[in-house]
Structures are given as structure tokens and as C-alpha cells.
Structure 1
């Protein structure tokens, strides 16, 4: 039986870790193409890891079609700054083209400056074909493998032809490679790869005559089977310079099936590091579990047995330790209303995270479904308002409160109002930079509707149901006069105790946190939700155990003010998260602009605040369960 349980546990573990890959459900249905079918390349935002401010593709004077059409985008895509539009890059399936002219532009002072700014800030151009993002393949020198970078740089800067002056050059020739998987029976094909190699070429054409797309370029051979550039002179970005945009497209048959086409994009992270993260977290959990087991099975059991034995023998000995404060331990804390609000908000976030993780593990929130993760989190947060209202009202009634509507209103508005204030300030700054990352008015209206139209009513419904339930009874009676708390040792100081309590929960997640920050701020995919789910479970256990341990030490020192400290003990891990985000900013990012720095720290402040309410709520409920358990186990007159 033990072997079977071990085997079952191993199977579940592997299923969780590789769930996102095994249960891969793509964001769009497969599309079959036959030879000659038209393939429309769509352009997405210009992105930079140096500024973190996205811009629409046509914010630069690139070749635009006669009518620019925006693609329908979900809520998550809009909030990410995606702006998907049509382009003049149109291919025909399995029909290679060489030296195809897109258009010619002439730079003036304004457009030349715009290109230079984007090149200097290392902006990348993002394109999409059949829902696949464009990537630049890069061979690793130390390994016989290829890594992919999303999008290609607008251009590059450097010295040329012996000149000491640094100049700017634009990538105006794109050599596309479209990989397809062919069905032998139907002769139809599905696109499984979209790659590009960008070039900077100062194009020239015969006799100085421009005949639009019929112009014959002397710098590019249209009859070659592969990219052949007859010029080593790059295209400089300067005022009054003419730039001719061209492209090649080649089609390569691939053995990769359509269902596995995202593997090349996703399987670039080293799983060994994730395993190290899991092992590191498990070691922390085992250490804490050992301490909790020692307290519960030895010290606490011995205390309960001693207290009960004294009662049966009617020995008039003075009580000591945690039993001494039984008459005050369930006394409502100061600012109990605020505690109810924070606990309700934490429950709302907890269930949002848990359900999101389950959907992600099953593959519903794969990277192929752009914006799906953010959209799901927003919608789940809105609907989990029901649990927020219920939890805050139940705790409020336990504290002998009577006006449940006031608590429901504060639960529904306090956290969102704080986040909205930060969000609006950041959005105003981004809007001032004319970035596509600024949330449009229509999306703002949708967010406000989700908040006041759905979330707030659900919080009130949950509050009504929770308040109608019988009040949670305390296992011991509370004295009318509060007992004086004796002077505490230095290591039981509230500030010191709280700060110590947050170290281990943060230590359990900080390695995985590195990958999450990298995916957000360095424009990489995060897909190993199986690992993340295990880390979240370990975080829950760690928060609960460290809070129980410190709560027991606090009660043993006859300090019964555990309510807020239990919340802050595990919640203080959010402080370390923000400090780590600050460390990450100065060591991994190259952000130099003030607006970009404010943007980064603003959103990391929101993330840390959310982390605080989640971890604090976990610690609070663990401590509440623990105190009710131990005080219901002793005989008290």
C-alpha cells in the first residue's frame, strides 16, 4: 500500500509539473493552407526592455497599408499594451519571394529623430503570422542549440567605415522563414514556425528611376534561392535619407506538428533550476514542519496534559504559560473592522490565485492565448468578491459587529481604490509618453464596470450570507477586564517578530520569483505553471507553519494580542518581495528613464501589496485555527 501511495503521489507530481505541456490547449484552432493561399502578417507593438513602454508599430513611419485595421483584442492584451494591426507584408503559401519591395520613404528631421530614439532605446519590432510571434534564431556558441528572441531590433548603432562618430542604422531588409508541416494525404499545410533575419542595406536601383514595386534593385538579387545582398553598406538613419524597405520569404517543411509548434518558444528555460527551487522550498517546509510537529506532539501535548491533570486533582497552583491568558486570547483586537476587510480581501485573492493556477495547469492559459492569463485573473478576482464579502462578514460577526453593510462596502472598495489610484497615476505618466501601454478610455470604463457592476454587488451578497450565519463561538469565555501584558523579551518584540516571520515564506518562493520577474520585465514566456503551483502550495504551508510557531511562542510569553501579529507575520514577506524587486531592478534591468522606473516600482508596489494580503490572510487563518484548537483542548472553569 505504501508503494502504491508513493507511486500515485509521483504520478500526480509529474502531472502537475508537465501539465501545461501535456494538456496544451491552444488559443486558436489550427488553420490549413494550400499552395498559393494568402498569408497576412500582422504587426504588434514595439517593445523595449530598457524603457518598458510599448508603442504601436505605426508610431514610426513604417510602410503602412491603405487602411490600417485593428484586430479585436481581449482585455488582457489591451492592458499589456498590445496593438495588433494589418501590414503590407503579405505572402503566398509555399511560394518563395526574393527582394520584394514594400515601399520607399524619405526621412525628415522628425522621423529621423523618432527612428534614432527607438534604436537608441533598443526597441524591437513584433510581428505575428497565424498567431505565432516572429522570432530571431540565435545560435549558441557554447552549445549546438538555438535560442529565440521575440521580435527584431528596429536598428543598431555603431561606428562604420573607419568613422569615430557613432551612427544609427535601420533594419530595412527582412529575410523571413516560414516553417510548415504538410499533411501527406490532403497536401494542405499548417504553419509551425515564423523566423526572421534582419539586415541593414543601403538599397540602390537602376538608372535612378523609381517604379514602385517593379523597380529592379541592384543591391538584391530577386532570382536567388536564398538571401543574396550585393551591398555591404548599411542603411544610415539621417535627415533627407531615402530608405527602401524590402523582404525575402522562404518556406521550409518541418517535422514539427501543429500541436507542438510552441515548444521551441517555451522550452528554453532550464528545468534544473526550477527543480532546485522546489527542493529549496521543500527543505524550508520540512524544517518548519519539524518545529510544528515538535510543538504540537511534544510541548503542546505535554502542556495540555499537565493543565488537565491539575484541574482533575484540583490543585490550587497558579496557571502559567499560554493557558494563563485564556480569558483574553479571543478578545477582539483594536481596528478589528480593518482586520476583517484585509482578511476578506486576502480570501478573494487566494481563491483567484488558486483557480487561475488550476486553469493554467490544464493549458487554458497557454502563451498562445495572448492576454488570456491577465483576463482570467481580472475576471476571477471580480467573481471571487462573493468569498471576500462572506469571509469579512463572518469574522466581523465573531467580533460582535452589527453593521455588516459597512464592512461589505469597505471590503469591496478599499483595496481596489488603493490599486486604482496607483494605476491611474501610472497610466497618466504613460499617456504623457504617448505609449500604447496607456489604457484607453473604453477599457477604463470596462474595468470600472467590472468593479462596481459585478464585484461590489457580489461582495454585498457574500456579506449578507456570511452575516446571516451563526457567529463563530470562542472555545473559552473572555474576561470583562483585559489582563496586563508582562514586559516581553527583546526577541518577542512585535517588529522583530514580524520581520523574522516573513523571511522563510519569501525564501520558499524567491527563486521562482526570479523567473516570474524575468518573464514580465524581460519579455520572455513563462509557462511552467506546474512548478509554480507546487511553489504556491509550499508558500501556503510555510506561511501557516511559521505563523503557528511564532504565535505559540507569543502566547507562552503571556502576550495575547495575536490577531494583527498573525496577519503581519507572514504578510511581512511582501516587504522582502519588494526589496528583491528593487535588487532585481538595479542588477538585471537597464532602465534609465524616470518614467520607466516609476512604472516599474509602481506595478511592483501593487504586486507586493497583493502578496501581503494573500500571505497575511493565510497566516491569520492558520493562527485562528491553532488557537481555537489548543484552547478547546484544555478544561477551563
Structure 2
């Protein structure tokens, strides 16, 4: 209590001072997301990002294809999260002036050879998209719905090209989108006449441009797209084929449209993913599970346990009570340290580390600090929070280790700091090697790899040792009842109390509480969509915590009633087994929703989902363990033992 008081009072004092001074404070914006006021004629520089495909999940740099290049390619500064996501933001030859429309602006002309034609064909066949950025807004393609009243749906980036039959030919051909019709939407300030960009859209066209005479970069005028005659591209009736020795001319238009959308709301259209009713249905579905489990826990706690404890504490009926129920008969063994207790301490500490990271990340996301406009911010925040939560991981594992009468706290601290990250790093290194072999921009560079290793060994490991030292120096947690020297024999159990069966059953309900929201998370990750409904996600996370805790308590009570006192590991595995169902659902999602056909892409998908499932196992298992730990201490501290 003193620890929490010392933590809470300074926080409360700081909050009070902050609220008192806030009226005189100045607003600030996060780096990279401040509004930019533009006047007519200001230069707008379009940046290009990675090429992405939902079929291969392998990003590539924009200039990995022979697109038009500026005089000098300049890489933008990227944070850790952007690098890990495979973002490669660079400048481009697409440049125009604010509120000055352009028509048929020629970027460059190139002639394909067999190699470049093959590169374009491969990317078109894999349905790669080109991603661009203007004023920190991603380029989108508007797609109208059949229902005119429905809001417009936006897809990130435009396809490199398309394939199909043309002019009655039965042979399938490839066509490239070489003309881009940009639309820049802006919100105008009537007082200052400045404007802010609130939208960046494009309509791609494949056009076989024509011109008279020989090509001259400065004098040649296109007959298919001429700004002097107000003639621009409106369709792709004569598409540009991708083939060896074919000439391609890249052009673009830019149109400016005034918009009523304010700068603060410009991301709303991008984040329109689905109907909120589906998420509310997910919440209601999860709440029904929670209410069902809460009813069972309430019945156990208020009726059965209260009656059992009352009878047991009554000396006249103590013998009768012992014959009626079995959980009190194992009081001398229930707190006996389990097999592999060191490993349990490590997993519990790692679970605390993950739990703290997820909780703080969601709080920051709900408060708006992890806006999608701050690209890579979410992943960067999660990595840094994971590192600094090592302090709590060491503390939790050392406290439990001390309770088990352990004496080598340095050994347990080292295993807590190394084991889980080492397993994840091994999987990640194999996957990164595969990505590197595919020459994808998603491969983590050596500099970033060194930064990750430094965060692990330079910050996380020392913090785990500091937390372990503090936790081990604390007085050991005293058990409410004494442990017998000789273990009690466990009677033969019914088939439904078999450890494997009860563990597998225990994971169904926690997974059922989150699987609907899990669909949207997988869609955002693997289908290149935004996910920014952290309010719903936080509610689902709370429901997951309650569900894991309650199912672990219910099954732990049934186990103790059958005189099986080996609850330590089973409490962890009961709720942690929900990770198995998560991985199975990921496999189901792979075969039903994704169109991945390449072996490499499949390995990447299942590799990353294995890491995610492992992390989910650690978090849910720790929740179930602490719930049962609290439950057993509560009930056994309520009975009188001679």
C-alpha cells in the first residue's frame, strides 16, 4: 500500500498543478502532424512510399521499378516503427503549386526493355499498389458505392496497372497506369486566405500517348493529352501496354477543390472502415460471455464458498463439512511450489511486461497520441514501452520466486530478460532473412537491427535486473496456510477434469470474447487498411481480462473440489490456451480471406501470427494465473486451520 501511495500522490499532485496551469498553456502538436498553412503558389512536393501488395505481403521501394526519378533521390527521416513496417519515403518528380491546376504535365518518357517489362508485369500480376504522400496525407483512390447515400470508400494507393484482354485478343496483356489525375482538397481560411490540405485523391489511367514527329522534352506536344486545347485524359480506351521495346510516357493532372472538411477532421474519411454496429455487436457478444461467467463466479463465491466456509469454521460440523467438500482437504498442499517453478516465474514476469505495454499503449492511443498521421508511432511506442516495462517484469518474477523460497534472484532475472525476447528474435531473424532474400524493403536494415539489440541488452535487461533486485529485497509473500512436508496423494480424476481437456475448454470463452474484433485487426494488418477504433479495442481488452480471470477461477475451484491441488500451471494454461484458438483462427483467415499464393508470403504470415499468438498466450496466461492466485489466497485465508 505504501508503494501505491507513493506512486499515486505525486501523480495526483502533478495532475492538479497541470489542470491549474492549463488555462495559460499553449497548445502543441506532435512531431510531423502540425498543420501547414499554404497560400496560392506555394510549392507542393509529393513523396513516394513503398509498393505494397496484399497477395505477397512483401513491400518494395518505389524506385525498385524504373519509374521517373528526380535529379537526386532523398530519403526522408523515418522513425523506428516506419522502418520495421517497411516504409521507404522518398522524394518524387511530382511537384505542383498550391491552387494552380495543371493539365497533361509530362514527367518523363522511357522505353522498356525485356528486363524492365518483366519487372512491371510481375508487380502488376501480384496486384501491387503505389503509395504516395502529400502533406502527410496518404494518396487514396475513391470508390463509389452502389448506394448513393453511402459514404465514399477509399483505398490506399493505386494499382501499378492491370491485366486483361484487349481489342478482341484472347491473349492476356498487361497495361500500366501512366497518367494520374490528382485531386487536392483544401480548406480555406477566409480571413487570411491561406489554406490547409484536407484530401489527396487520384484516378489512375492507362493511356497510350501519341505525339507528332520526333520526341523533344521541351517542345513535343501530346495529341492524346494537350493542355493548350483543354484536352485531357478521361478514360482508358487506348491503354498503354507493357511489353519489350514499348514506349511509355508518364503524365499527370492536378485539380484543386475547396472542401468544408476542417484540418482536424481530415483523417475521418481514411478511418472509415466499417459500420460501428458490428463493433457494438462484438461488445454485446463479449458482455454476454462475461455475464455468464460472472454469474458462475458469484454463485461459487457467495453461495457455495460462503456455505462451505461457514460449516468448516463451525467446530461442531467440521468433520461433516470435510466429508461434503474437497477443496478444504487440500489446504496443506495447495500452496506447495509447482514443478518448474522457475519457468513459471519467468512466464508470469513476461506476462506482466506485456500486460503493462498493452495497457499503456491503449491509453495513449485513446488519448490521441498514436494518431495514424504519426506514421510508425504505434509500433515505436509499443517497442519502447516493452523495454521500459522490463522493470515490472523483473519485480513480478522475483516476488513470485521469493515466495517459492528461491535464493538465486540473478538467475531468474536473467531468464526473464532473455527467454521470451530470444525466442521471438530467433523467429524474427529467420523471417527477416527470408524477406532480405526477396530484396524487399520490409527487411530490417543492420542499423535498425543494432538499435533493437541495444534496446534489449542496453535498457531492457538492466531494468529487469533492477526490478528483480527490488522485488527480491521485499519480504516474501506469506501463504495463508502452512504446507505439509509430505505431499497428499491426488485421487483419480473424472475424465472431464483431465488437465488437457480442462485447459483446452478454458481457452474457448476468452477467444470467443475477442474473435470478432480480431477479424478487424487482421484485416487492418494484412489487407493494408487503417485501424483506429481503440475505444472499442480497449473495451474488448477489459472484457478479455475479466473473461480470462473468471474462467480460470471457475475451473480452479472445480479442480480444488476434486482434491487436485496442482493448480499453479493449470491456471496459467487454462486462459493461455486461448492463444491456440487465435492461431487456428489466423489459419482459417488465411485460407478464407487472403489471396496469398506464394510459399514465402505464407511463411511470413504464419511466422508473424505465431509470434502474435505466443504473446497472446503470455498475456492471457498471466491474467488467469493472478486471478487464481488471488482466489486461492482469499478462500484459504477465510477458513480456520488447526
Do both proteins adopt the same fold according to a TM-score greater than 0.5, normalized to the shorter chain? yes
Correspondent of 1:402 among 401, 407, 417: 407
Correspondent of 2:357 among 347, 352, 361: 352
Relative to structure 1, is the Cα distance of residues 580 and 68 closer, same or farther in structure 2, using a 3 angstrom cutoff?
Answer: same
Correspondent of 2:434 among 417, 429, 434: 429
- Cα distance per residue 1:571-605 (max 9 Å; x no partner): 00000000000000000000000000000000000
Relative to structure 1, is the Cα distance of residues 315 and 374 closer, same or farther in structure 2, using a 3 angstrom cutoff?
Answer: closer
Counterpart of 1:203 in structure 2 is 209
Distance in 2, matches of 1:576 and 1:386, equals: 31
Counterpart of 2:333 in structure 1 is 328
Distance in 2, matches of 1:92 and 1:268, equals: 32
Does residue 191 of structure 2 align to residue 194 of structure 1? no
- Cα distance per residue 1:428-451 (max 9 Å; x no partner): 000000000000000000000000
Give how far 1:141 is off: 1.2
Counterpart of 1:3 in structure 2 is none
Count of residue pairs brought into register by the alignment = 613
Correspondent of 1:439 among 436, 444, 448: 444
Give how far 1:268 is off: 3.2
Distance in 1, matches of 2:557 and 2:317, equals: 26
Correspondent of 1:171 among 141, 165, 177: 177
Counterpart of 1:18 in structure 2 is none
Q: Is the 8 A contact 2:153 2:272 kept in 1?
A: no
Give how far 1:366 is off: 1.1
Distance in 1, matches of 2:395 and 2:197, equals: 49
Distance in 2, matches of 1:219 and 1:230, equals: 11
Distance in 2, matches of 1:213 and 1:301, equals: 91
Correspondent of 2:251 among 246, 253, 256: 246
Which structure 1 segments of 5+ residues have no match? 1-22
Counterpart of 2:378 in structure 1 is 373
Structure 2 matches for 1:62-81, cutoff 5 A? Answer: 62-81=67-86
Correspondent of 1:461 among 450, 456, 466: 466
Residue aligned with 2:269, SS = helix
Residue aligned with 1:42, SS = strand
Q: Is the 8 A contact 1:98 1:224 kept in 2?
A: no
Give how far 1:186 is off: 0.7
Counterpart of 1:551 in structure 2 is 556
Counterpart of 1:157 in structure 2 is 163
Residue aligned with 1:212, SS = coil
Q: Is the 8 A contact 1:26 1:368 kept in 2?
A: no
Distance in 1, matches of 2:566 and 2:476, equals: 21
Q: Is the 8 A contact 2:109 2:249 kept in 1?
A: yes
Residue aligned with 2:250, SS = strand
Counterpart of 1:295 in structure 2 is 300
Q: Is the 8 A contact 1:97 1:249 kept in 2?
A: yes
Counterpart of 1:626 in structure 2 is 631
Counterpart of 1:276 in structure 2 is 281
Q: Is the 8 A contact 1:24 1:364 kept in 2?
A: no
Structure 2 matches for 1:89-238, cutoff 5 A? Answer: 89-144=94-149, 145-207=151-213, 209-223=214-228, 227-229=232-234, 232-238=237-243
Residue aligned with 2:180, SS = strand
- Cα distance per residue 1:374-395 (max 9 Å; x no partner): 0000000000000000000000
Counterpart of 1:579 in structure 2 is 584
Correspondent of 1:511 among 513, 516, 530: 516
Relative to structure 1, is the Cα distance of residues 176 and 33 closer, same or farther in structure 2, using a 3 angstrom cutoff?
Answer: same
Relative to structure 1, is the Cα distance of residues 435 and 315 closer, same or farther in structure 2, using a 3 angstrom cutoff?
Answer: closer
Distance in 2, matches of 1:447 and 1:285, equals: 39
Residue aligned with 1:140, SS = coil
Does residue 502 of structure 2 align to residue 497 of structure 1? yes
Give how far 1:211 is off: 1.5
Correspondent of 1:600 among 592, 596, 605: 605
Does residue 533 of structure 2 align to residue 528 of structure 1? yes
Relative to structure 1, is the Cα distance of residues 185 and 315 closer, same or farther in structure 2, using a 3 angstrom cutoff?
Answer: closer
Relative to structure 1, is the Cα distance of residues 589 and 27 closer, same or farther in structure 2, using a 3 angstrom cutoff?
Answer: same
- Cα distance per residue 1:130-159 (max 9 Å; x no partner): 000000001111343311000000000000
Q: Is the 8 A contact 2:346 2:397 kept in 1?
A: yes
Query: What TM-score do you get using the length of structure 1 for normalisation?
Result: 0.95
Query: What TM-score do you get using the length of structure 2 for normalisation?
Result: 0.94
Give how far 1:206 is off: 1.6
Distance in 2, matches of 1:35 and 1:211, equals: 31
Give how far 1:223 is off: 3.6
Q: Is the 8 A contact 1:219 1:229 kept in 2?
A: no
Counterpart of 1:19 in structure 2 is none
Relative to structure 1, is the Cα distance of residues 72 and 495 closer, same or farther in structure 2, using a 3 angstrom cutoff?
Answer: same
Residue aligned with 2:255, SS = strand
Give how far 1:212 is off: 1.1
Counterpart of 1:9 in structure 2 is none
Relative to structure 1, is the Cα distance of residues 213 and 576 closer, same or farther in structure 2, using a 3 angstrom cutoff?
Answer: farther
Q: Is the 8 A contact 1:506 1:577 kept in 2?
A: yes
Counterpart of 2:568 in structure 1 is 563
Distance in 2, matches of 1:580 and 1:26, equals: 38
Q: Is the 8 A contact 1:277 1:509 kept in 2?
A: yes
Does residue 60 of structure 2 align to residue 55 of structure 1? yes
Residue aligned with 2:251, SS = strand
Residue aligned with 1:560, SS = coil
Q: Is the 8 A contact 1:89 1:102 kept in 2?
A: yes
Residue aligned with 1:514, SS = helix
- Cα distance per residue 1:350-392 (max 9 Å; x no partner): 0000000000000111111111000000000000000000000
Relative to structure 1, is the Cα distance of residues 39 and 308 closer, same or farther in structure 2, using a 3 angstrom cutoff?
Answer: same
Residue aligned with 2:487, SS = coil
Distance in 2, matches of 1:558 and 1:30, equals: 65
Residue aligned with 2:75, SS = coil
Relative to structure 1, is the Cα distance of residues 318 and 140 closer, same or farther in structure 2, using a 3 angstrom cutoff?
Answer: closer
Does residue 523 of structure 2 align to residue 542 of structure 1? no
- Cα distance per residue 1:114-136 (max 9 Å; x no partner): 00000000000000000000000
Q: Is the 8 A contact 1:177 1:250 kept in 2?
A: yes
Distance in 2, matches of 1:315 and 1:44, equals: 75
Relative to structure 1, is the Cα distance of residues 591 and 24 closer, same or farther in structure 2, using a 3 angstrom cutoff?
Answer: farther
Distance in 1, matches of 2:110 and 2:459, equals: 50
Counterpart of 2:8 in structure 1 is none
Distance in 1, matches of 2:231 and 2:154, equals: 21
Distance in 2, matches of 1:130 and 1:171, equals: 23
Give how far 1:66 is off: 1.2
Distance in 2, matches of 1:267 and 1:165, equals: 39
Relative to structure 1, is the Cα distance of residues 469 and 213 closer, same or farther in structure 2, using a 3 angstrom cutoff?
Answer: farther
Distance in 1, matches of 2:504 and 2:254, equals: 58
